[in-house]
Structure 1
Amino acid sequence: MILSVSGVLLLGTIVFLFCRNSGLKGSHAAVCGLFGFYLAGTGIAPGIKAGGDSLAGLLGGITF
């Protein structure tokens, strides 16, 4: 659950910065959000979640 909330906050921040600095329109961001909701209901959603979890584990294992 913590990973999901962190991912949502990170992606929300990126979308906000794109809207503000790169000219991403609010309607485009809304379409991307709706696409994500519809994609979550498909059969590929578990694979996407597993890939995100794998990436988070990889990034979490990096030591500086």
Structure 2
Amino acid sequence: MIVSISGVVLAGCAVFFVVRSRRATVGAAIVAVVFGFLLASTGLAKPIQSALDGTAQVTGSVKP
């Protein structure tokens, strides 16, 4: 039996474990960047971008 796992899932797991272990190294940063690029090529890119745009609008409209 062959098990196939997406690169997004593997990179996401790696980022999760790096964050949980609180190890901020260059390797951890590279894994996070790779995860971002892989995630951007999935169907989740549009909803994530919409959520970030909405957050930016709310943050920009707050008066100090």
3-state SS, counterpart of residue 24 of structure 1? coil
Structure with more helix by fraction: 1
TM-score (norm 2): 0.63
Q: Hey, what does 2:48 align to over in structure 1?
A: 48
Q: Hey, what does 1:18 align to over in structure 2?
A: none
Larger radius of gyration: 2
- 1:27 aligned to 2:27? yes
Per-residue Cα deviation, 1:30-59 (whole angstroms, up to 9, x for no partner) = 000000000000000000000000000000
TM-score (norm 1): 0.63
| C-alpha separation in 1, matches of 2:23 and 2:62 | 33
How far did residue 23 of structure 1 move? Answer: 4.8
* Cα RMSD after superposing both structures: 1.2
Which stretches of structure 1, 4 residues or longer, exceed 6 Å deviation after superposition?
none
- For these two proteins, the number of residue pairs brought into alignment is 43
Extract unaligned runs of 5+ from structure 1: 1-21
Extract unaligned runs of 5+ from structure 2: 1-21
Q: Hey, what does 2:5 align to over in structure 1?
A: none
